Structure 1
Amino acid sequence: MRERIIYLIEQYYHNRSTREELDELMNIIQAGEHDGEIDELMRNFYEEIKEGLSSGERNLQQGVSEEMKSTQGSYTEMDEYRKPSVMVLRLWPVAACLCLAIASATFFLLSRSEQQAGEMAVVKKFTDKAEHKYLLLSDSTQVWLNASSTIDYPEEFGKDKREVYLKGEAFFEVKHAAETPFIIHTGTVTTVVLGTSFNVKAYEGQEHVTVSVKSGKVQVLKQNKLISTLIKGQETKVSKINGRDENDEVNNDLVGAWQQGHLAYEEVRFADIISDMERVYNVDITIRNEQLKQVLVITSFSRDIGVKRALEILCKLTAAKLEEKGGQYFID
C-alpha cells in the first residue's frame, strides 16, 4: 500500500491525477487506515529538509501530502494547490506544520476528521472492488457496506436526527430511537427510518436508487417530496432523473442477500447485473450488444462460484456469447 500512496502523491503533484485517483487518495487520507505510512513519509520529508535537501523533487512530492490534508473539500479548491509554482512557495510552511505533526500524535486525526472549524467530526469509510466492510455506528446502528461504496457519518449523532451520506450500496440495521429519525442521503433521494433493517442501492451510473425493506417501515423522499412508505417485503426504485418511479413486492429473503455471499436479482436489467459483477469480482466486462443491456433477468447464485461461472449462467439465460481475452470479458 505504501507504494500505491507514493504513486498517488506523485500523480497529484505532477498534475496527472485522474478523477478516480484523486478520489482514491482523498479517501485514503480521510479513512485514516494508513496514517502510519503517511506519517512516516512526512517524517522522512522533514528529516531531509533538516539536512538541507529541500531542493529535491522527492521533498516536494512528499510535502504535497500535508498540503492536501489542509485542502480537503471540493476539487475546485484542490486544483489551485496542484500548480507546482504554488507548491514550491508553500514548501517551508509545510515543513513547519510537520514539526507540529511530529510533536502531536493527534495531528493527522484532526486534519482528517474536521471539515470546518467547530463542526462535528465526520468519518468517511469506503470499499474497493471485491471488498465489504462492517460498521458499528455510535447509536449501535449496524451497517454492511458493499463493494465500491462510500459512506460519511458523524462520530457522534446529534439529539434531533441521525444523518449519513451514501454512494453505492449498504444494508442497514438501524437502532430504534423514536425521537431521533435515521436519514440516509443518496443524491436527491432520501430514506427516513426510526428503526428497521433495509437495503439501499445507489451506485453512480445506474438509473434508479433502490430501497428494499427487510423489516420495519421506511419513508423514501425525492427532492424532499414523499415518494413511498415501505414496509417489510416492499421495494421502491426511484428514478435519479425524471423517469418513472416503481414500487413492487420483493422476496424478503433476497433483501441484502449479498451480505451472505448470495447475488440475487428479480427482473433487473442485464447491464446493471454486469455492473455488479465488475464490482464484486473486480474485473472488466464489456457488453457489445446494446439491446442486451436492457433485457430483464431473474437469477441468483453464490458469489463463490467465481466470475466466469457467474457470467456463463447469465449468458445462458439471455442466449448471449461469452468471450475472455487477457483477463477481460466480452459479451455478444
Structure 2
Amino acid sequence: MTDQRFTELLGKRLAGEISPKELIELKELLSKSTVHRNEYENLTGYFNDEKSGTNNIDSVFEKIKQQIAVPEPKPVQNIERPVRREFINWYRIAAVIAFCICSFAVYYFFPDNSAGKNDITEWKVLQTPSGDKSKIILEDGTQVNLNSKTQLKYPASFSRKNREVHLNGEAFFDVKKDSEHPFIIHTKHMSIRVLGTAFDVKVYEDDSFIETTLVRGLIQITLNNKPAEKIILKPNQKFTLADKNNVNYTIVPLTYYNSRDSSSNSIMEISWLNDRLVFKNQTFVSIAREAERKYGVEIRFKDEKKKDYTFTGKFEKESIDELLNALRYIENFSYKKEGNIIYIY
C-alpha cells in the first residue's frame, strides 16, 4: 500500500493537483525511503520547466508549516512549562494533520460503495460505426472524440466519487479537471486513472495490441492481470502492450511524421483526429486495419506475403482507390473490389 500511495501522491505532485495535506504525506514517505527519493528526483527533473523552488519539496513543506498558525509562547521565567505547552500545541496540530491524511487516504483508495448499491445509475452507450467519427461532451465537461468502430459506455450523470466510463475502440479524452473525483477509463485489459488531461486510448478487439498515448498531463495505467503495478505515463510518451494476454509492455516517445515539426499536428498516433491516415515504416496489414476504419471497408489478403510490405505515407482527402494506387507504385500488388470488400493479391 505504501508504494501504491507514493505513486498516487507523486503523480498528483507532478500534475500540480496535490493538496497541502497530501504534500505533507509525500514528505513523510520521502523521508523514510531512499528509493522513493531517487524516483522523485528523477521524475521532477523531467519537468524542468516548472518554477524554480517548486521542485524543492523541503521549501514547499516549510511554506506549508508557516501557514499553520501557532501562537508564539509568552516569555516567562519558568522555561519548562512554555516548552511543554509548545510541544503540546504542535502535537495537537500533528494529530489533526495525521487524521486528515488518514481520512483522505481512506476516502481516496477505499470508497464506500455500500451507499451506491441502492443508487440506480442510468448508463448510456455511444456507438460510432465504421468509416465515421463522433464527439461527445460528458456531463462533467469532459470532451471525448471517438474514432470509427468505437463504443463508449458512460453514465448520464457522475453521481459517485469516481467518474467512470467503459471503452472499446479508440478515443481521445480531454478530461475536465476535478481532483476530488478521479476519472477512470475501463477497458477489457486495463484501466486508466487520469492525473492529467489529454490522451488517446486505442483498444480495438481486432488488434493484437493496445496503446495509450499521452499528449499532456499525467495518467496512471493498471493492467487487469497485474493490478499491483501502477504505471505512470509522462507527456509525449506512448504505452504499448504488444500482446494483450501478456504483461510485458513498452514506453516510448511519440512518433512524429515530420521530425522538424514537434507540434501535435505531426503526432502520428492522433492523426485520425484530423481525418488523416499517416504511417511510417508500417506493415501493409496494419495500414489495412487503419484504412478499414477510415473508409468503412473490409480488406482481405489473398496473398499472405503482401501483409509484410512496409510503407510510409500521409493521406487525408484521398479515396481508398487513390490510397491503394499510390501504394502500388511502391510495391507490386493488385486489388479487386467486390461491394464493401477489397481483396489484395
* Normalised-by-shorter TM-score class: 0.5 to 0.7
2:322 to 309, 315, 322: 309
Aligned match of 2:86: none
8 Å contact 2:271–2:277 — kept in the other structure? yes
Aligned match of 1:72: none
Task: Output the aligned Cα RMSD.
Answer: 2.3
The SS at the match of 1:147 is: coil
Shift of 1:325: 3.4
1 CA distance for matches of 2:290 and 2:118? 39
1 CA distance for matches of 2:309 and 2:183? 35
1:321 to 322, 325, 333: 333
8 Å contact 1:320–1:331 — kept in the other structure? no
Summarize the alignment of residues 146-225 of structure 1 with structure 2, pairs less than 5 Å apart: 146-223=147-224, 224-225=227-228
Query: Larger relative contact order (C-alpha < 8 A, sep ≥ 6)?
Result: 2
Summarize the alignment of residues 213-292 of structure 1 with structure 2, pairs less than 5 Å apart: 213-223=214-224, 224-226=227-229, 228-238=231-241, 239-242=243-246, 244-250=248-254, 251=256, 252=264, 253-254=266-267, 255-292=269-306
1:118-172 deviations in Å (ceiling 9; x for gaps): 4211010001111111100011000011111100011111342111111111111
Q: How high is the TM-score relative to the length of structure 2? A: 0.57
8 Å contact 1:130–1:280 — kept in the other structure? yes
8 Å contact 2:195–2:220 — kept in the other structure? no
Change over 3 Å in CA distance of 1:247–1:292 after alignment to 2: farther
Q: How high is the TM-score relative to the length of structure 1? A: 0.59
2 CA distance for matches of 1:266 and 1:219? 28
1:213-237 deviations in Å (ceiling 9; x for gaps): 1111112221124363212211011
Summarize the alignment of residues 75-114 of structure 1 with structure 2, pairs less than 5 Å apart: none
The number of residue pairs the alignment matches comes to 215
1:277-320 deviations in Å (ceiling 9; x for gaps): 11221122112233443555443221x20111122334444x24
1 CA distance for matches of 2:286 and 2:324? 13
Structure 2: give runs of 5+ residues left out of the alignment: 1-116, 257-263
2 CA distance for matches of 1:166 and 1:240? 15
User: Which amino acid in structure 2 is aligned with residue 331 of structure 1?
Assistant: I
2 CA distance for matches of 1:180 and 1:117? 20
8 Å contact 2:277–2:291 — kept in the other structure? no
8 Å contact 2:144–2:172 — kept in the other structure? yes
User: Which amino acid in structure 2 is aligned with residue 121 of structure 1?
Assistant: E
Aligned match of 2:136: 135
User: Greater CA radius of gyration, 1 or 2?
Assistant: 2
1 CA distance for matches of 2:280 and 2:236? 13
Change over 3 Å in CA distance of 1:191–1:266 after alignment to 2: farther
Change over 3 Å in CA distance of 1:226–1:291 after alignment to 2: farther
Aligned match of 1:21: none
The SS at the match of 1:321 is: coil
1 CA distance for matches of 2:229 and 2:158? 24
1 CA distance for matches of 2:228 and 2:323? 39
User: Which amino acid in structure 2 is aligned with residue 129 of structure 1?
Assistant: S
The SS at the match of 1:180 is: coil
Shift of 1:267: 4.8
Change over 3 Å in CA distance of 1:201–1:269 after alignment to 2: farther
1:242-278 deviations in Å (ceiling 9; x for gaps): 2742221113432422121112234544322211211
The SS at the match of 1:305 is: coil
Structure 1: give runs of 5+ residues left out of the alignment: 1-115
The SS at the match of 1:130 is: coil
Change over 3 Å in CA distance of 1:329–1:173 after alignment to 2: same
User: Which amino acid in structure 1 is aligned with residue 297 of structure 2?
Assistant: V
The SS at the match of 1:256 is: helix
2 CA distance for matches of 1:264 and 1:272? 11
8 Å contact 1:219–1:226 — kept in the other structure? no
8 Å contact 1:197–1:216 — kept in the other structure? yes
